Amino acid sequence: MATAQHVAQRPLYALGLRLLAIAALATMSALIKLASMRGVQLAETLFFRQFFAVPVALAIVLAGPGIGSLRTARIGRHVTRTLFGLIGMVANFGAVILLPLAEATTLQFTVPIFATILSTLLLKEVAGLHRWSAVLIGFIGVLLVVQPGNGHFPLFGAAVGLSAAFMVALISIQIRELGKTESPTTTVFWFSVLSIPILGLAYPFFARAHDPATWALLVSIGLIGGIGQMALTSALRWAPVSTVVPMDYSSLIWATLYGWLLFGMLPTASTWLGAPLIIASGLYIVWREHRLAKRNTETAIAAAD
């Protein structure tokens, strides 16, 4: 049975995990785009992404805490996380397929913006002028990247990319809450296992024959994605969201590099204009959250004394 675990914070370890996770997930995104260009359907990619993540989770469990650590008393929470996670994966993978890598990655940087909106709507937190100003600046950056009406950027792809960012913000709240009682391996394992039957129902309708190179891509997507997800979840366990989220912006470096090397594409001029505004907005929101959390902690300690 899962019990509450009070884990000491290890910020440097968490930052390293987050950087590893971002590198792995950026690599996975590049492989997803390559697979789609070889005729792989989205449903196939999703199925094998989850299927081959299970061995990664099991290997880490067997090498560490043991199979008993996978027991959980919160299976309902894991089911909810799985449903939201699948929606997020469909949007995230869809954006990678529909958009150039750098542009799809840039839209992911709106996660802190959506997190601010969600915390206000769902958690009834008060967002002051500073944070709402940052949200506004971030959306100006999005408009610069997308430039609706110009026709240079697929608006459907942009909508899918922004939906993916919204889901990531929502899922991050779920993972952080699950992390109070569940280990990262438990969370990743149940997400993969619970999603396989759902994706398995859709898979036969989209399954195709592939050459060995394409199968190698699908296996790699699952293994590398599993490693990235494990590292991503672990980072949230060892440090607060505000500490590790700034590392996510390193993904633009990977996306630009892969876009250039594999697809001969560099970010557009509008992306170079809008991305700094979106990044600055996100970093300010994260910094503001960190300051407020620190101030609240100091106030609580002073009141206790």
> Which pLDDT does position 186 carry in this prediction?
86
Q: Residue 259 in contact with residue 34, Cβ under 8 Å? A: no
Q: Please indicate, yes or no, if residue 6 is contained in any of the structural domains.
A: no
- Counting the structural domains of the chain, the total is 1
Range of the domain at 184: 11-304
- For residue 1, what pLDDT is reported? 41
CB-based contacts of 63, cutoff 8 Å, min separation 6: none
Closest CA to 184 of 195, 173, 176, 194: 176
- Indicate whether 138 belongs to any domain: yes
On whether residue 292 sits in a domain, the answer given is: yes
- 2: in domain: no
Residue 3 counted as domain residue: no
* Contact in structure between 126 and 296 (CB atoms under 8 Å): no
- pLDDT at residue 3 in the model: 42
Tell me if 87 is assigned to some domain.
yes
Q: Residue 167: what pLDDT?
A: 92
Place of tokens 């293994």: 223
- Per-residue pLDDT, 51: 94
> Quick one: pLDDT at residue 112?
80
pLDDT of residue 304: 61
Judge contact between 70 and 259, C-beta under 8 A: no
Q: Which two tokens stand for residue 134?
A: 């940052």
Judged on CB neighbours under 10 Å (0-12, 13-18, 19+), 213 is exposed
First to last CA, the chain: 36
pLDDT for residue 84: 94
Query: Running DSSP on this structure, what letter comes out for residue 109?
Result: T
Q: Could you list the pLDDT tens digit for every one of the 305 residues in the chain?
A: 444 344 567 778 888 998 999 999 999 999 999 999 999 999 999 999 999 988 988 888 888 778 888 888 889 999 999 999 999 999 999 999 999 998 899 898 888 888 778 877 776 666 677 778 888 888 888 888 877 766 667 889 989 999 999 998 888 778 777 877 888 788 888 998 999 999 999 999 999 999 999 999 999 999 999 999 888 877 877 777 667 777 888 888 899 999 999 999 988 888 888 888 888 888 887 777 767 666 766 666 666 66
Per-residue confidence (pLDDT) for residue 4, from 0 to 100 = 39
pLDDT at 46: 96
pLDDT of residue 300: 61
Q: How far is CA 90 from the centre of its chain?
A: 12
